[in-house]
Amino acid sequence: PGAQLPFDPEKKTLVVLGSGWGTTSLLKTLDTTDYNVVVISPKNYFLFTPLLPSVAVGTLNPRSILQPTRYITRHKTRQVSVIEAEATDVDPINKTVTFTDNSEIKGTVSSTTISYDYLVYGVGAEVQTFNIPGVKEHACFMKELSDAEKMQRAFMDCVETAAFPGQDTKEVERLLHTVVVGGGPTGVELSGEIHDFLEDDLKSWYPELAGKVKITLVEALPSVLPMFSKQLIDYTESTFKESKIDILTKTMVKEVKEKSVVLQMPDKSIQEVPCGMVVWAAGNKGRKLTQDLMAKLPQDQTNRRDYMVMKGTNGSIFAIGDCTATSYAPTAQVASQQGAYLARILHQMAKKDNLISRAQQLESMKAQAPAAAAASAEGEVVDTKKKIDEEIQDINRQLGKIKLRPFQYSHQGSLAYIGSDKAIADLPFMNGNFASGGVATFLFWRSAYLSTLFSLRNRTLVATDWMKVKLFGRDVSRE
Ligand code: FAD
Ligand code: NAD
């Protein structure tokens, strides 16, 4: 009863968990005629994370960087089931997935279990708080769309509260102080975006307050952006200095309070710094579902997973992207290449399975065929066994040609926006590296991301938002 999956008993069932970078890229490349394909994700869309910090300050409209998963699946040759639900359990022995509808509106059924032949596990990661007190309660994150929207509301609330008549000077300073925790690319890009918002818009909308806005970026390591080359780290640090963004390196956030952050300074002294808003961009960790799954599998899941197969699953679970540790960085670039690679592997596997079952069919036909060549009605001599043997040989030849090649990552370079219409790029160039930073790199950054956006629809929306901001400024209204 109810909505049925487009199920073909002749085909194997491929269940895909997640609608992020890895799995969306997989879906784009996947030949859906090979399998019964079921996609399960609590979000019925793909989020273009590189532009999330732009949403947090209102440069981009939230919807411009989303792509409904059905936008991709509806163009596939064979129908794909898309289910908005959260996987709550994976049973690698019985090869089943249990999932639950966690949305506000529920029907009579909101949890069920289905079987899979192959599972693509691409659930991503969640924010790492290191159990630091107050982070969950008082800080904003920068991981999901709702985080960016929450940050935008909180930031504008700080500004409007600071503008309240008669506000105490010290309180105004506190409210307008934003602390960004984590000097990885997320923290750096977000600090740059907040600075742009201040320069381009707040200065004219709130002239009496703009001079008091302060941004502090806190990083526990000796420098920000450890994945970039030294000259680009220096360039970022000097750009931030000009932009009056304070960088505190070798400084660790120990606690987040309602109106302050507690910092451990490089000399190990503790300082409590008043602030209006804290954004937590201090990295990610595996989800509980992933930890539970790992506990059911052999511990030595090697870092090198050449074919994406998880050990101890008999080749039935493939993991891609941020969800499990591999030898590659947890980036969109890696996840999307893994997704496209896995789609090709799954196609080859389906081809192989089809050839093997045809060969088995032929073997049984051969066993039943007459022992000697027989003459047909037209007097032509037909040797069925010989014909079958020839077809089996042909199948074996085709099977011999199917070679599953291991995954090879091709690094296209690292790019980050640092504010003030400047970006930095470390690009692979003739066995070396080409580092560049500045306004030209910013234009490159924009065009690179525009072309990476999955659809013409999203490209148009993002380009229009950029134009609107240039013409009218960012929207400072608070929903
Ligand atoms: P995700 O894209 O996170 O997707 C995981 C999916 O799984 C989501 O659809 C989620 O809803 C779903 N899911 C979660 N739980 C469940 C469950 N229980 N059951 C089923 N589905 C579930 N990388 C770059 O290379 N370049 C960049 O410029 C860049 N910028 C970034 C900016 C920001 C602000 C952030 C946060 C990240 C950025 N990244 C960037 C990193 C990049 O986003 C990740 O590496 C990438 O998203 C990983 O892809 P994934 O498919 O593994 O996971
Ligand atoms: P990250 O893990 O790269 O950086 C987090 C930083 O927070 C680390 O440098 C860590 O030292 C610091 N930190 C942790 N705890 C702290 C504490 N208590 N006090 C102070 N500092 C603390 O996280 P991210 O920036 O969110 O990036 C996650 C992944 O996404 C990375 O692989 C990154 O490359 C990728 N990403 C790429 C881009 C880009 O290419 N433009 C943009 C965003 C994210």
CB of 10 within 8 A of CB of 33?
no
Ligand at minimal distance from the CA of 252 is 2
Residues with beta carbon inside 6 Å of ligand 1?
A: 17-23, 40-43, 49-50, 52-53, 86-87, 122-124, 142-143, 186, 287, 289, 321-323, 330-333, 335
| Ligand lying nearest the CA atom of residue 89 | 1
**pLDDT given for residue 92 in this prediction:** 96
Place 3 in a pLDDT band, splitting at 50, 70 and 90: low
Pocket of ligand 2 (CB under 6 A): 50, 132, 181-187, 189, 218-221, 227, 252-253, 281-284, 329-331, 414-416
The closest alpha carbon to 97, from 5, 233, 213, belongs to 5
In tens, the pLDDT along 40-94 reads 999 999 999 999 999 999 999 999 999 999 999 999 989 999 999 999 999 999 9
124-133, 172-181, 367-376: which range is least confident on average?
367-376
**CATH number for the domain whose boundaries are 12-124+287-353:** 3.50.50.100
Q: What does the pLDDT average to over 451-474?
A: 94
**pLDDT tens by residue, 56-70:** 999 999 999 999 999
Residue 381, pLDDT above cutoff 70: no
Of 382 and 216, the one with more pLDDT:
216
Which ligand has the shortest distance to the CA of 253?
A: 2
Higher-pLDDT residue of 479, 425: 425
Atom of ligand 2 nearest to the CA of 143: 26
Q: Quote the distance between the C-alpha of residue 218 and its chain's center.
A: 24
464 pLDDT higher than 60: yes
Could you tell me which residues are beta bridge partners of residue 260? Answer: 274
Largest CA distance in the chain: 109
116/15 Cα distance (integer angstroms): 6
**The tokens 């499990």 sit on which residue?**
324
Using the atom order of ligand 1, give the atom closest to the CA of residue 321: 52
What integer is the mean pLDDT of 206-230?
A: 95
Model-level pTM? Answer: 0.95
Per-residue buried b or exposed e for 304-336, using 16+ beta carbons within 10 Å of the residue's own CB: ebeebbbeebeeebbbbbbbbebebebbbbbbb
Q: What is the pLDDT of residue 2?
A: 46
Q: Which ligand approaches the C-alpha of residue 26 most closely? A: 1
From 110-119, 363-372, 386-395, the region with the lowest mean pLDDT: 363-372
pLDDT exceeds 50 at position 1: no
Measured from the Cα of 333, ligand 1's closest atom is 25
For the stretch 280-330, pLDDT in tens is 999 999 999 999 999 999 877 777 777 899 999 999 999 999 998 788 999
User: What's residue 380's pLDDT?
Assistant: 66
Banded pLDDT at 399 (limits 50, 70, 90): very high
State the first-to-last Cα distance of the chain, in angstroms, to the nearest integer: 41
In the structure, what pLDDT confidence band is assigned to residue 386 with cuts at 50, 70 and 90? confident
Give 224 Cα–ligand 2 centroid separation in angstroms.
9
**Ligand 2 centroid from CA 126, angstroms:** 13
Annotated domain spans of the chain = 12-124+287-353, 135-284+410-472
Read off the pLDDT of residues 441-460 as tens digits, 9 standing for 90 and up: 999 999 999 999 879 999 99
Average the pLDDT over 114-132 and give the result: 98
Read off the pLDDT band of 160 (50, 70, 90). Answer: very high
Q: What is the mean pLDDT of the chain?
A: 93
Q: Which fold has domain 135-284+410-472?
A: FAD/NAD(P)-binding domain (3.50.50)
Distance CA 459, CA 450 (A): 6
Q: What is the pLDDT of residues 219-249, one digit of tens each?
A: 999 999 999 999 999 999 999 999 999 999 9
**Residue 382, pLDDT above cutoff 70:** no
Do residues 158 and 277 touch, judged by C-beta distance below 8 A? yes
**Residue 433 pLDDT:** 86
Q: Do domains 12-124+287-353 and 135-284+410-472 have the same CATH topology?
A: yes
pLDDT digits 0-9 by tens, 330-376: 999 999 999 999 999 999 999 999 999 999 999 988 888 776 666 66
CB 22 within 8 A of CB 328: no
